[in-house]
Structure 1
């Protein structure tokens, strides 16, 4: 097989996750000092980014609790006053692979202009990006650089997404770094590339035109990213969707036809699983033909018998929280997207050579904000 950046960048993640933990360990006191100095417990915390960088926040904020939100830069830039309040104390956490997308740079600028008391954490994979350079000497900002290899050369964000997600979790769990490192090592042990490839080889041969990823809470954010990955790498040859298992019944289930594949990311939470398994049983028993694929962290006979394809990451340690299981799930989804792309004869490193979609967004004009009233 021709060497592809994208495949290399997917496979290197298991090593980069441990490197990311070590980077945060090295900066632990600096991060703690910055958070304490800026009274982070009494601030609104906003994770922001565009596309996959937005989905970092969407995936991890449900697990962080408190006053932590995820808001896209693309929403903030077009309607600043709906999200940035002059009299609120805010930590803006900007996630960005390149640090050069127009909306990311503009969001930081808007926050500085609108909010009286704002500080910044910039989680980025590019030391030479505008986000890192613009704020490197700002005492109200903390720049956290990811491992250099996470600045993906391929079109799609893979290792950049997971390294930034892991960092977002770590900075608010500084007293649990060793525990989280153990959890991540167990996740890495669960990821068996050859076993996943056997399933993926079967899935990519099926006559499928629509794929739906389903996940609850943190895993809904992961489902969103998984859907985008396949959409990007297949250059729109397939229709990709995402939802929560409970939300899927409320209209979106209409997407199901004879060429629909539904991939469910099962939760490890016993209460949550009850709702997810109910939907699996419902869909499996319906007359309309579809392909049900279930990914699981447990070993469930019930899930297996109500799926056409069932894959478990279980290796006798199935108690991890979903926010950590997301790393195994997205790894599978990235691999699936890569091989599905190749099955269409597409170059996964450059799925849109005609330039309508680019590695770093182009064509965005940023306008001066005059404090107009938004609604």
Structure 2
């Protein structure tokens, strides 16, 4: 079994641990999330949830901050920067951390790597060393860190549900002719757009595939012209009538469609929880299985390493 497969299959165990490890948010504070790649997508997703709950939040890629100084005006008295790096050593994130600390902004580091630069140089660090991954591609640790970062807005232990959602994902994806599919589209709104962005990244990293991500109804405005019978659309649905109508339309073009949601092909979400960390499981399994169907080694993705050092 590959490291990637093991790390996807252990998500239930990780979520059992993060259920007791929630990051707190203070009233009167603003939160700035910084990261690269999957870590940026984590920040995007969490920032959307915080704003929905009226906690002011921003998200920036570390690269955009370095290249263009793309930061909101920050107040050291009220602003908190949350810097996410699985390895704790991504060059862009480490450099932005140094810049923020020099400006007096309180910094929180989030990483899986003990003794890393993020741990050593942040004012406070949340260490997910139990979610450390051998694989290059971020998989199970994404779900674990997301669960913790959602803090009080994800109060439910999702460990048992993770088993059911992963098994459902395996059944649905096993029915697909993956060798025939060569175009993968991920759709969702708000926090689910962050997960859709992550879905596109997983198919690029693991399976070297052509991908799109977008808001569901925006997909009608041009991008749908690229759909073929070899396209797969994964909709991170909120179950609205508009989204359901779009699903029907996309199927009419001959595309394969998987709906993830409370009434989806893969059921995620309940009255007690949006279960956002579980919505990444179908995506992880899809990327892994597509890579295997092409004879690729998902543990050694092309041109990639665990840490981007520049």
| TM-score, scaled relative to structure 1 | 0.75
Range that drifts further, 200-209 or 153-162: 200-209
* Residue number in structure 1 paired with 2:236: 265
CA contact (8 A) 1:298 1:318 kept: no
Match of 2:119 among 120, 132, 139: 132
* Residue number in structure 1 paired with 2:59: 70
Report the secondary structure of 1:22's partner residue.
coil
Alignment of 1:107 onto 2:96: yes
* Residue number in structure 2 paired with 1:97: 86
Q: Distance in 1 between matches of 2:215 and 2:284?
A: 19
Report the secondary structure of 1:83's partner residue.
coil
CA contact (8 A) 2:165 2:278 kept: yes
Q: If you compute each CA radius of gyration, which structure gives the higher value, 1 or 2? A: 1
* Residue number in structure 2 paired with 1:163: 144
Instruction: Using the TM superposition, give the Cα deviation of residue 86 of structure 1 relative to its aligned residue in structure 2, in angstroms.
Output: 5.5
* Residue number in structure 1 paired with 2:126: 144
Report the secondary structure of 1:41's partner residue.
coil
Q: Distance in 1 between matches of 2:124 and 2:202?
A: 29
Alignment of 1:122 onto 2:104: no
Q: Distance in 1 between matches of 2:300 and 2:3?
A: 10
- The 3 A distance-change label for structure 1 pair 162 and 196 is closer
Instruction: Using the TM superposition, give the Cα deviation of residue 20 of structure 1 relative to its aligned residue in structure 2, in angstroms.
Output: 1.5
CA deviations on 1:90-116 (whole Å, 9 max, x unpaired) are 200011100101001011112123x3x
* Residue number in structure 1 paired with 2:255: 290
Alignment of 1:213 onto 2:213: no
Instruction: Using the TM superposition, give the Cα deviation of residue 242 of structure 1 relative to its aligned residue in structure 2, in angstroms.
Output: 0.8
What do you get for the CA RMSD once the two structures are aligned? 2.2
CA contact (8 A) 1:190 1:328 kept: no
CA deviations on 1:124-164 (whole Å, 9 max, x unpaired) are 111121110223xxxxx111111x23121101101221122
* Residue number in structure 1 paired with 2:199: 226
CA contact (8 A) 1:204 1:340 kept: no
- The 3 A distance-change label for structure 1 pair 6 and 149 is farther
Match of 1:277 among 226, 244, 252: 244
Q: Distance in 2 between matches of 1:261 and 1:334?
A: 15
Higher helix content, 1 or 2:
1
Q: Distance in 2 between matches of 1:257 and 1:357?
A: 29
Q: Distance in 2 between matches of 1:87 and 1:327?
A: 31
Q: Distance in 2 between matches of 1:109 and 1:102?
A: 11
Alignment of 1:198 onto 2:171: yes
CA deviations on 1:195-243 (whole Å, 9 max, x unpaired) are 4323222224351111101112211111111111111001x2x201111
Alignment of 1:358 onto 2:308: no
Report the secondary structure of 1:71's partner residue.
strand
Report the secondary structure of 2:178's partner residue.
coil
Gaps of 5+ in 2: none
Q: Distance in 2 between matches of 1:189 and 1:347?
A: 25
Q: Distance in 2 between matches of 1:46 and 1:164?
A: 16
Report the secondary structure of 2:27's partner residue.
helix
Range that drifts further, 92-101 or 244-253: 244-253
Q: Distance in 2 between matches of 1:104 and 1:208?
A: 35
* Residue number in structure 2 paired with 1:318: 270
| TM-score, scaled relative to structure 2 | 0.90
CA contact (8 A) 2:187 2:236 kept: yes
Instruction: Using the TM superposition, give the Cα deviation of residue 192 of structure 1 relative to its aligned residue in structure 2, in angstroms.
Output: 4.5
Gaps of 5+ in 1: 25-30, 136-140, 300-310, 365-375
Instruction: Using the TM superposition, give the Cα deviation of residue 290 of structure 1 relative to its aligned residue in structure 2, in angstroms.
Output: 1.9
